[in-house]
Structure 1
Amino acid sequence: MLRCRRPLVALALLTTALLGAAPGGSGETISLAGTLPGQRLDVTLTQVVDPATATGPDRPTATDRLVATRFRLENTGTAVYQDSPAPAAHLLDTAGQRSTGLGLPTTAGPAFPGTVTLDPGATAEGFITFRLPADAEPAAVQFALNGGLADDVGQWSLPIP
């Protein structure tokens, strides 16, 4: 688990790419702040399905695959959280490549809707899917509020048990 400020994100990405990722990180909760007053979520990576099987028409080709990650979001702030979780997440591989989350449906479970709205104290769970090269080795998953633009960035190392 890693929490960093936006200026350190490039360093975190480089470190992850060069050193690989330590196993573990699943189930750990990271508290993240948004860009507006009162925006705060506790974010937990609860599951990784690799490879994931698409249920819609947007299926992987022979050169790529899907990885589905399940997140639990809890609004621990004082403001209503309204955001799109998929573009707020990124998967990093051991070669340093970064994939942005997609709202693709898979057999892993239900994806987050395009927009999630949570009152203070409310929770939501859903999958965010990533498309990456078939031979890529996932190293970490990142999440930040406000479509991924908030300064706080949570990072979970992969693989997870």
Structure 2
Amino acid sequence: MHARIRVAAVAAAAIGALTMTACDTGSTVVDKPEENAAAKADSGKDAKKGKSPEVAKVGDTLTLKGFEDGSQLDVTVVKIADPGKSANEFTEPDAGKRFVGVQFQLVNTGKAVYSDSPSNGAQVADSEGQQFDSTFADITAGPSMSSSLKLKPGAKGLGWIVFEVPKASKIGAVQFTMDSGFADQTGEWKLK
């Protein structure tokens, strides 16, 4: 009987430590991309030099850090497919819902190997503030993002992550967080 109490106490302490750690991390949202080098080179206007866009939009790249020292990605929302059409007759959205696809490009700009399931850290949010996690589905827009992506420093991954959302929802933002959604920084892209 005492062994069970001791195990329960250890488990409770571990959960408490994880909860305190999660609460104390001070998570931040990154939504301001840096001006890319090509845009700087093409810009002949003094007023635009050195200015970054107000918020990230489709096509912009955000640099995000993970928990592990040296863990960093440049994340780009490349395209949006809304609605996304199922790539097969076996996977369809539930009644009253639709698929929305987001094509992400992940480039490992850190010193550590990136190994994760990117879909675990991706979400979309509608104009009402409702957030939707990814779902397992393939769409006709293109190949899905690998569910077990491993990138050495300098390598990149490209693929679609699919979300199932209510037909009436107007998607207003895309979010991505490293470490299956548990890292301190969350990238956010506005859609209009």
TM over 0.5: yes
Instruction: With the length of structure 2 as denominator, give the TM-score of the two structures.
Output: 0.70
Instruction: With the length of structure 1 as denominator, give the TM-score of the two structures.
Output: 0.83
1: CA distance, partners of 2:103 / 2:157: 11
Match of 1:64 in 2: 97
Alignment partner of 1:89 is 2:131: no
Alignment partner of 1:40 is 2:76: no
2: CA distance, partners of 1:38 / 1:24: 24
Alignment partner of 1:129 is 2:162: yes
Match of 2:61 in 1: 29
Given residue 190 of structure 2, which amino acid in structure 1 is its aligned partner? S
Match of 1:19 in 2: none
Match of 2:40 in 1: none
2: CA distance, partners of 1:6 / 1:88: 17
Match of 1:105 in 2: 138
Larger RCO (CA under 8 A, 6+ residues apart): 1
CA contact (8 A) 1:70 1:125 kept: yes
2: CA distance, partners of 1:157 / 1:48: 12
1:11-44 Cα offsets, whole Å, 9 max, x none, are x9xxxxxxxxx99701110000001111000000
Given residue 55 of structure 1, which amino acid in structure 2 is its aligned partner? A
2: CA distance, partners of 1:142 / 1:89: 6
- Calculate percent identity across the aligned residue pairs: 37
The partner residue of 1:138 within 157, 160, 171 is 171
2: CA distance, partners of 1:37 / 1:148: 17
Given residue 169 of structure 2, which amino acid in structure 1 is its aligned partner? A
CA RMSD of aligned residues (A): 2.0
CA contact (8 A) 1:87 1:147 kept: yes
Given residue 86 of structure 1, which amino acid in structure 2 is its aligned partner? S
Task: Identify unmatched segments of 5+ residues in structure 1.
Answer: 13-21
Match of 2:82 in 1: 50
Task: Identify unmatched segments of 5+ residues in structure 2.
Answer: 1-24, 32-53
CA contact (8 A) 1:35 1:146 kept: yes
Greater fraction helix = 2
Alignment partner of 1:115 is 2:144: no
Given residue 57 of structure 2, which amino acid in structure 1 is its aligned partner? G
1:85-105 Cα offsets, whole Å, 9 max, x none, are 111100000111110123411
1: CA distance, partners of 2:173 / 2:146: 23
